[in-house]
């Protein structure tokens, strides 16, 4: 099952998939389902709907 | 030329007692010093036969042996021992959860954790393998069983030099004995 990735802008400090810190205002790429959670709890806002990456 | 002096370092290994048996031996790592101390308590017998008290006998009442070691290896195993906690625990944080450092997880994240003061006592077998730079033998101390307690500050969170962890071990006598030192010839 492939899942798309989108870019979000951090509203709170995030811990990226590779473990690196994403400071407020920076962007990072996350899975679409993750972005929904982050947007819902006001940790990030959606920057682009770009859907390139897939995950098995 | 063989000498009988000692100067050197070495390694310290620990097998924790889990209440039933000893766990696999692990190295404490980066030991800064390790010492053995032994003390004896005596009871004196005094005679007043001639008026003035004079000591006529001295008998040993008790023997107490302790080891101390300090490491700069501040890993989870050593820190758990210092904090009287288990070294095997982790916590899982779901996506969107706030991690302990106030960042928000973007993937499910497993983080090692030590729950402090959950154990009342740390007991272990200890092996110190000395490396003698001078003499002809390398000493190996085997402490069959010791109760270990941390000494000094467990962690200085604002250390400006490498932090160390210090431990004292009060040696107990068990079926295997009290402690022994082997003198391994250097080759």
**pLDDT digit string (tens) for chain B, length 187 residues:** 667 899 999 999 999 999 999 999 999 999 999 999 999 999 999 999 999 999 999 999 999 999 999 999 999 999 999 999 999 999 999 999 999 999 999 999 999 999 999 999 999 999 999 999 999 999 999 999 999 999 999 999 999 999 999 999 999 999 999 999 999 999 8
What are the structural domain ranges in chain A? 5-48
Q: Are A5 and A53 in contact (CB under 8 A)?
A: yes
Q: What ipTM describes this predicted complex? A: 0.88
Whether A36 contacts chain B with CB within 8 A: no
Shortest distance between the Cα of B96 and any Cα of chain A, in A, equals: 6
- Beta-sheet pairing, B54-71 with B122-132: unpaired
Shortest distance between the Cα of B75 and any Cα of chain A, in A, equals: 19
Contact residues for B166 (Cβ-Cβ < 8 A; gap 6+)? B68, B69, B70, B150, B151, B152
pLDDT tens, position by position, A3-56? 799 999 999 999 999 999 999 999 999 999 999 999 999 999 999 865 555 554
Which DSSP string do the residues of B89-147 spell out, in sequence order?
-EEEE-TTPBPTTS-EESS-EEEE---TT--S-EEEEEEEEEEESSSSEEEEEEEEEEE
Whether A27 contacts chain B with CB within 8 A: no
Whether B95 contacts chain A with CB within 8 A: yes
End-to-end CA distance of chain A: 6
Supply the pTM of this predicted model. Answer: 0.85
d(Cα B180, Cα B187) in Å, to the nearest integer? 22
Can you give the pLDDT at residue A53?
A: 54
Whether A6 contacts chain B with CB within 8 A: no
Q: Kindly list the residues from chain B whose CB atom is less than 8 angstroms away from the CB atom of residue A37.
A: 95-96
The CATH code belonging to domain A5-48 is 3.40.5
For A12, the closest of B95, B104, B109 (CB atoms) is: B104
Positive or negative, the CA dihedral B76, B78, B80, B82 is negative
In Å, what is the CA distance from B50 to each residue of A52, B43, B54, B112, B120?
Answer: 104, 21, 9, 71, 53
């Amino acid at each position: 099952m492939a899942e798309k990735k989108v870019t979000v802008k951090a509203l709170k400090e995030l811990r990226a998939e590779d473990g690196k810190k994403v400071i407020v205002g920076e962007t990072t790429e996350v899975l679409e389902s993750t972005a929904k959670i982050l947007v819902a709890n006001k940790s990030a806002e959606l920057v682009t709907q770009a859907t390139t990456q897939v995950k098995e | 030329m063989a000498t009988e002096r000692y100067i050197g370092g070495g390694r310290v290994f620990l097998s924790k007692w889990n209440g039933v048996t000893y766990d696999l031996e692990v190295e404490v790592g980066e030991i800064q010093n390790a010492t053995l101390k032994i003390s004896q308590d005596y009871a004196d017998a005094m005679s007043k036969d001639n008026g003035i008290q004079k000591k006529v006998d001295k008998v040993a009442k008790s023997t107490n042996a302790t080891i101390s070691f300090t490491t700069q290896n501040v890993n989870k195993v050593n820190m758990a021992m210092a904090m009287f906690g288990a070294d095997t625990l982790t916590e899982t944080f779901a996506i969107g959860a706030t991690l302990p450092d106030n960042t928000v997880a973007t993937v499910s994240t497993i983080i090692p954790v030590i729950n402090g003061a959950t154990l009342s006592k740390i007991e272990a077998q200890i092996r110190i393998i000395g490396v003698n730079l001078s003499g002809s033998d390398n000493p190996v101390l085997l402490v069959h069983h010791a109760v270990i307690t941390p000494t000094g500050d467990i962690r200085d969170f604002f250390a400006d030099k490498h932090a160390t962890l210090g431990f004292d071990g009060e040696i107990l006598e068990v079926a295997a004995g009290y402690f022994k030192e082997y003198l391994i010839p250097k080759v």
